[in-house]
Amino acid sequence: MINVAIIGATGYAGAELARILMNHPEAEVVSYGSKSYEGQDFSSVYGNFRGMADVPCENPDLSVLSKKADVIFTATPQGYLAGCLTEDILKNCCVIDLSADYRLKDVDVYEQWYKLEHKSPKLISDAVYGLCELHRKETVGKRLVANPGCYTTCSILTAYPLVKAGYIENQSLIIDAKSGTSGAGRGAKTPNLFCEVNESMKAYGVASHRHTPEIEQELSQAAGEEILINFTPHLVPMHRGILVTEYADLKQVTYADGHMDYPNKEMIQKAYEDAYKDEYFIRLLPDGMPPETKWVEGSNFVDISYVVDQRTHRVIMMGALDNLVKGAAGQAVQNMNILFGLPENTGLQMVPLFP
């Protein structure tokens, strides 16, 4: 049995970790960490856990926890983990970080987008970027996992096969993303009130959202060249779910007979299948069927499809996932499974909840 501590258990992502781990056959939560709710029962903060987690939240101490837990999940504000993580702690236990502290390999990029000084930059190279479908091999044996952001996971996985295959003009990539409101967290802010969010929609963080450099880092690596993208997140009146709609110009390629042309439908389909046909959590949808967030809610699945526009020679790629599961807690557990040598989908085979 893997002993797990959650720091930041009373945020939405932390609570989702608790939900998933409750039914994980090989893991057990030994500490629900929360500074704000110290001493209060976890189930009094999240009533869904009544009868299942009637234990008090603890004020977390990373160092102490590292001695009693096999793995610590940190679902904490940016900068928290970077400010207290040490190599000694990593000797005691694994850390899977749901914040952005170790995601960006270039510390300057981190400091520029997050407006924060990074307190432990030398640990960055110890961390693996935990987008499992791309980096599972590097993850084996690691002690520190930088679990990707919600928008990031969806954005990268949707475009990755065509970037990798060289079928699109990389600099033309535009990502229009839409997210449910749980992504904004449980903080009491007027813009997140029911009456402000419901029956409305808006963009935010236009040309400045912090997930942008993560997406660029990973797609650049896949492309073998530096990619700059436009990424625009939107807030949608629903709880869970991220939908991305990505636009890219197709790039002419040399066919077997020597002529140049845009990649045809079969080639694009093959690129997706080559990348994902053995992936349990990625579901390539039938020809032209757009993904819907309702079909992934509560699960670790990512649904992906695409449409080729013959008029404009563009491809429209679409992906959907649950921001709290594959976009946060589910992927974190998937990383834990990799670290501890379990099948990746252990404890993650729940059917999406509908309606």
Active site residues: 150
Judged by CB under 8 A, which stretch of 61-69, 72-80, 114-122, 190-198 contacts a second copy? 190-198
Q: Which residues within the stretch 196-215 sit at the binding site for a second copy (CB under 8 A)?
A: 196-204, 206-207
Tokens coding 164: 């990798």
Q: Please compute Rg for the chain using Cα positions.
A: 20
Q: Does 237 bind a second copy (CB under 8 A)?
A: yes
Binding map of a second copy across residues 250-289, x = CB under 8 A, - = no contact: ------------------------------x--x-x--x-
Alpha-carbon distances, residue 303 vs 64, 79, 295 (angstroms):
40, 32, 8
195 vs 256, beta carbon nearer a second copy: 195
Neighbours of 290 (CB within 10 A): 14
Cis, peptide link before residue 263, omega less than 30° from 0: no
User: How many whole angstroms separate alpha carbon 59 and alpha carbon 31?
Assistant: 10
Q: Does 309 bind a second copy (CB under 8 A)?
A: yes
Judged by CB under 8 A, which stretch of 87-95, 96-104, 144-152, 308-316 contacts a second copy? 308-316
User: How many whole angstroms separate alpha carbon 275 and alpha carbon 73?
Assistant: 29
Q: Does 111 bind a second copy (CB under 8 A)?
A: no
> CB of 330: closest distance to a second copy in angstroms?
12
Would you say 35 and 11 are in contact if contact means Cβ atoms under 8 Å apart?
no
Neighbours of 227 (CB within 10 A): 20
Tokens coding 74: 């940190």
Tokens coding 305: 């499809």
Q: Which of 91, 137, 259, 311 binds a second copy (CB under 8 A)?
A: 311
Q: Which of 94, 303, 326, 337 binds a second copy (CB under 8 A)?
A: 303
78 vs 192, beta carbon nearer a second copy: 192
13 vs 82, beta carbon nearer a second copy: 13
Compute φ and ψ for 153, nearest 5 degrees.
-55, -45
Q: Which of 115, 274, 312, 343 binds a second copy (CB under 8 A)?
A: 312
User: How many whole angstroms separate alpha carbon 92 and alpha carbon 64?
Assistant: 10
Q: Which residues within the stretch 6-35 sit at the binding site for a second copy (CB under 8 A)?
A: 12, 15, 18-19, 22-23
Q: Does 36 bind a second copy (CB under 8 A)?
A: no
Q: Which of 109, 116, 238, 267 binds a second copy (CB under 8 A)?
A: 238
Beta bridge partners of 306: 317
